[in-house]
Chains A and B, each alone.
Chain A
Amino acid sequence: MPDTSALASEAVRFQAVGKTFPTRPHPLRAVESVSFSVRRGEFVSILGPSGCGKSTLLMMAAGLETPTEGRLERGGVALEGPHRQTGVMFQDATLLPWLSVLDNVLFPAVIRHIPRAKVLDQAMRLIETVGLKGFEHSRPHELSGGMRQRAAICRALVLDPDLLLMDEPFSALDAITRDEMGDVLLDLWQHTHKSAIFVTHSIREAVLLADRVLVMSRRPATVAEELVVPFPRPRSPALADTAEFAALVAHLRGVIARSMAA
């Protein structure tokens, strides 16, 4: 497949995308006419009530679900199925228990038939960056929840994708580990300039990481509000302790409350 993505200025574009599941007796409308795009290198966070259709939206971007209406473009071309340059993280780390941490990180290369030698360096570098050095040969059950999600980040990044899709990746972790993981991700992302869509329930996480925050309505999900995060980059986790940050979080909380009430 020719890579025309370099020509497009947008990593992903949703154009009036809708999704209805053919459930019985009544079909379920999960996503309603969603339009937005993510520029190259832009980090977009998505907030919204649970069950509103955020995962469905993300799975469509991952090529795992097909929209029933509208058009979904990836790097300027219509998206058909999982894209080689997309990394995905799920709520659960979904590591394979029978593989070592290293083999889990290398798993996408196996699936794409890329020789191990070609990606081994990248894998080891990522493992070191997220602080898992020394655990390459451990099995997932020997790791804590936070360490497993770190391994899952490495797996999502190992083929150096230009788009990272994350579906509440830290929501199964305790509050402290969760903030820690947010900081790891912030650090990692600022060094790589990838595009990202990040679904979360944490307003702090959403604001700290994102260039733009989208607030979704109740189901069926539509973009209810959009907010540009003005803080310059590179950001440090300490930003979250400033008054400006707190003010923005408070403002966003109000926006969410209003959009839920509507």
Chain B
Amino acid sequence: MSGSALPLPQRLPLLPLATGLLALLLWELLVRWARIPNVLLPSPGSVAGSLWLAAPQLAWHGLATGGAAVGAFVVAVAAGLVLATMMMLWPLVNRLLYPNLLLFQLLPKVALGPLFVVWLGIGLPSLLAFAVFVSVFPVAIGMLTGLRAADANQVRMCQAAGGSNWQVFRHIRLPTAMPYGFAGAKVAATMAFTGATVGEFISANAGLGYMVMQAQAKSDTPLIFAALAVLCLLGAGLYAAVGVAEDAARRRWGTRR
């Protein structure tokens, strides 16, 4: 199956890494050869220089964005799980919420950002609320889909053994839903960073999104790229953390098939 038992160095994706490095190299050569101005497209080298020079600033603003995104992610996952559980256990809640949830899922949610500023003002509360708003849907819908995917015969078997609704939920539906829940959480991890950054574009005085806006005003394109690089790294970090949690959960509860 998956090579998760292999030592770490062997798991590093060498080939895609090589492709990435090659692309960076070509990029560097292209910028030098065509003498593209730094404002238009900075070379990887000058972005690296920016990363080095602005490191303290990047760390500070990265912490702000990372904190906001992780906080929003945690809240979104918790809220998504609660929503899915309530919709599963109480049909009325499901009928009240599910169609609306699907509708919201279809909306270009990021476009609603300015509304949060209107309601909650400029600052952390509106930013957090917005990041939670854009990331809660994939968790809720993924989890609900998983809870409903439980095998009808297994549910019957559990009921025949005397299982209550709650026990059917706990022992049949929850284990079935786990992979779906984690898939939703992975989408939520990227959405939380999207939400936090867009929130900072429109309503913050800290964070990488704010930094990007500042750098843009000063036409410091290398710094924009440096901030985006840190953002990618943070996003990948949260995504990887969810993956590690999923591996651990599957090993613990044995839902690996």
Contact = CB atoms under 8 A, between A and B. Distances in A.
Interface of A: 62-64, 81-82, 84, 86, 88, 90, 92, 94, 96-100, 107-108, 110-112, 139, 141
A134 to B, nearest CB: 19
B162 A90 contact: no
Contacts of B171: 96, 107, 110-111
Contacts of B167: 111
19 contacts: A62-B160, A63-B160, A64-B159, A81-B162, A82-B160, A82-B161, A88-B160, A94-B154, A96-B171, A96-B175, A97-B257, A98-B253, A100-B254, A108-B161, A108-B162, A110-B171, A111-B158, A111-B163, A112-B161
Given A111-B171, A139-B254, A94 B156 contact: yes
B43 to A, nearest CB: 51
Contacts of A99: 254
A112 B162 contact: yes
A84 B160 contact: no
B4 interface: no
A97 B171 CA distance: 12
Contacts of A96: 154, 171-172, 175
Interface in B80-120: none
B255 interface: yes
B157 interface: yes
List 7 A-B pairs, minimum CB-CB distance, nearest first: A88-B160, A108-B161, A94-B157, A98-B255, A111-B161, A94-B153, A98-B254
Interface residues of B: mostly helix, strand, loop or mixed?
Answer: helix
B1 to A, nearest CB: 12
B91 to A, nearest CB: 17
Given A63-B160, A108-B161, A111-B158, 7 more contacts: A81-B162, A82-B161, A82-B162, A88-B160, A90-B156, A96-B171, A111-B167
Range, interface on chain B: 20 to 34
Interface of B: 151, 153-154, 156-163, 167, 171-172, 175, 253-257
Given A82-B161, A111-B163, A98 B153 contact: no
Contacts of B172: 96
Contacts of B158: 107, 111
A86 B255 CA distance: 29
Contacts of A86: 160
B82 to A, nearest CB: 23
B34 to A, nearest CB: 56
A84 B163 CA distance: 11
A88 B157 contact: yes
A111 B254 contact: no
A111 B162 contact: yes
